[in-house]
Amino acid sequence: MKLKNTNKAVQQYVASIPFDQRLYRQDIEGSIAHVKMLANQGIIAESDAERIIEGINSIREEIEQGRFQFKTELEDIHMNIEARLFEKIGDVAGKLHTARSRNDQIALDMRLFLKEETLKTIEKLRNLQHSLLELAEENKTVIIPGYTHLQQAQPILLAHHLLAYFDMFQRDKERFSDCLKRTDVLPLGSGALAGVPYPVDREFVARELGFSRVSTNSLDAVSDRDFAIEYEASAAITMMHLSRLAEEIILWSSNEFGFIEIGEGFTTGSSIMPQKKNPDMAELARGKTGRVYGNLMSILTVMKALPLAYNRDMQEDKEGLFDTVDTLNSSLQIFAEMVRTIKINTERISQAIRKDYILATDLADYLVKKGLPFREAHGVIAKLGEYAIAQDKNFHELSLKEYNNFSPLFIKDVYDITLESSVAARNIVGGTSPQQVEIALTRARKVIEEECGHPN
Interacting residue ranges for ligand ARG, rule: CB under 6 A: 16, 20, 76, 102-103, 106, 310, 312, 314-315
CB 59 within 8 A of CB 68: yes
Nearer to ligand ARG, 29 or 123 (CB): 29
Q: Known catalytic residue: 270?
A: yes
The Cα 4–Cα 7 span in angstroms is: 9
Nearer to ligand ARG, 308 or 382 (CB): 308
Shortest distance, CB of residue 54 to ligand ARG, whole angstroms?
25
Q: Which of 47, 58, 270, 421 is catalytic?
A: 270
Nearer to ligand ARG, 20 or 48 (CB): 20
Shortest distance, CB of residue 343 to ligand ARG, whole angstroms?
48
Give Cβ neighbours of residue 174 (< 8 Å, ≥ 6 apart): none
Of 281, 282, 265, 285, give the one whose Cα is nearest residue 328. Answer: 285
Q: Which of 149, 271, 399, 454 is catalytic?
A: 149
Tell me how crowded residue 98 is: count the other CB atoms within 10 A of its CB: 15
Q: Which amino acid makes up residue 181?
A: K
Q: Known catalytic residue: 149?
A: yes
Shortest distance, CB of residue 225 to ligand ARG, whole angstroms?
10
Nearer to ligand ARG, 282 or 314 (CB): 314
In Å, the largest CA–CA distance within the chain is 101
Shortest distance, CB of residue 102 to ligand ARG, whole angstroms?
4
Q: Is the dihedral of CA 5, 10, 14, 18 positive or negative?
A: positive
Count of residues in the chain: 456
Of 80, 84, 62, give the one whose Cα is nearest residue 71. Answer: 80
Give Cβ neighbours of residue 422 (< 8 Å, ≥ 6 apart): 154, 155, 358, 359, 361, 362
Shortest distance, CB of residue 423 to ligand ARG, whole angstroms?
56
Q: Is the peptide bond before 309 cis (omega within 30 degrees of 0)?
A: yes
Shortest distance, CB of residue 101 to ligand ARG, whole angstroms?
7
Nearer to ligand ARG, 67 or 312 (CB): 312
Q: Which amino acid makes up residue 302?
A: V
φ, ψ for residue 299, nearest 5 deg: -70, -35
Give Cβ neighbours of residue 12 (< 8 Å, ≥ 6 apart): 72
SS3 at position 213:
strand
Nearer to ligand ARG, 107 or 159 (CB): 107
Of 83, 84, 107, give the one whose Cα is nearest residue 1. Answer: 83
Residues annotated as part of the active site: 149, 270
